[in-house]
Amino acid sequence: MKKIFLITILVMTFALYCVSAYAAEWPERTINIIVYSSAGGSTDLSNRAIAEGLKKPLGVDVVVSNMPGAMGGTATSYVWTLKHDGYNCFGLSEGYLGQCVLGLHSTTVKDWEIFMVGGTPGIISVKPDSPYQDFKQILDDVKKRPGEVTIATSIPGCIWHIQWLTAKKYGDFNAKFVPYPGSFPSQIAAMSGEIDVVWTGLGEQSEFLRGKKLRPLAVYDTKPLEFAGLTIPPITDFIPELEKVMPIKQFVGFALPADTPKEILDKIADAFKIAMKSEAVKKFSEAVHSQLYGYCGEEARQIASKQQSVFAWLLWDEGIAKISPEEFNIPKP
């Protein structure tokens, strides 16, 4: 018995030594970032920018490729099934947070080490000649005509849809949701008068706001936003109760399985902090009007966990989710 115990200790010690030796030499080859959405969007662009910034501190090439499909579930499954050795990262956004309850993948925030590059704020807008002069007038009209005022927020389950659902829950904003296959067609629908209100991101609305094709009424935040000579008031001026669930905001970046060797995750975290100061990341921020975060480690985990609670339970309460958040031990917000 004593002999078996000693052999077990020796095997474990050797295994730990091998892991440490491997991590000390890491990285020795190209690192891949598999983005779960198509090329050209914020998730893709943020990962291409951070990949450029990571090359120098890591000393190897960092290559980004796109793997859209199954609302992001295809890339999630692909990266998860690969060896957790730091060479394959998962390019994601906050849209990942609903995957578990939507039945797309069984992992949750606790299974990933997330690196948040940034995100653009949500903007609630109307066409220039809309009768609504401020967000309060929309709320008042919705209460007078529940289910008649129409709103578009891009695809169901996206960050803008989730933000609207929080407003619906805490502010009695019971507008009629009209789904579109993306933010751009949602905005076109608002400009043409097909729908009354559009709720998408600043990065997506920016050119329409500058060109006065859309008129902003509120930003999903607790403080006002200055943009293109305009001061956009925070939604909490009209629905103070939303402070309870904030921040619920877009984040784009990448993640690695949480059981990746700690020494490797530490190296990536150090390189990530350097990459966040790179010219490539700065240009990304300016191009899509993204606020830069640079969150990783426990800070990113807490933010993502809190948002996942809101995402998962709202999707479940709305009858959109297929699996109860309780199945994943996700607490109610």
* Segments making up each domain of the chain, as ranges: 2-119+250-328, 122-244
Write the pLDDT tens digit of every residue in 172-223: 898 999 988 778 889 999 999 999 999 999 988 999 999 999 999 999 999 9
Higher local confidence (pLDDT), 32 or 24 = 32
Query: Residue 14: which H helix or E strand, with range?
Result: helix 2-25
Q: Is the pTM of this model over 0.85?
A: no
Q: What would the mean pLDDT of 119-131 be, rounded to a whole number?
A: 96
Angle at 139 between CA 134 and CA 205, to 5 degrees: 55
CATH architecture, domain 2-119+250-328? 3-Layer(aba) Sandwich (3.40)
Domains 2-119+250-328 and 122-244 share a fold: yes
CA distance 210 to 229: 9
DSSP code string of 29-60: S-EEEEESS-TTSHHHHHHHHHHHHHHHHHTS
* Burial (0-12, 13-18, 19+ Cβ within 10 Å), 98: buried
Query: Residue 210: which H helix or E strand, with range?
Result: helix 202-210
Instruction: Report residue 154 as tokens.
Output: 């891009």
What is the band of 21 on the pLDDT scale with cuts at 50, 70, 90?
Answer: low
Contact at 8 Å (CB) between 221 and 234? yes
CA distance 184 to 154: 8
Contact at 8 Å (CB) between 197 and 135? no
Query: Residue 281: which H helix or E strand, with range?
Result: helix 279-288
Write the pLDDT tens digit of every residue in 297-321: 999 999 999 999 999 999 999 899 9
Res 19 pLDDT > 80: no
Residue 187: count of CB within 10 angstroms of its CB: 25
SS3 332: coil
- Name the percent of the chain lying above pLDDT 70: 93
DSSP code string of 103-120: TS-S--GGGEEEEEEEEP
E strand segments, 94-206: 112-119, 122-126, 150-152, 176-177, 197-201
CATH code of the domain made up of 122-244: 3.40.190.10
Residues 6+ apart with CB under 8 A from 26: 85, 86, 261, 263, 264, 267
Residues in the chain, total? 333
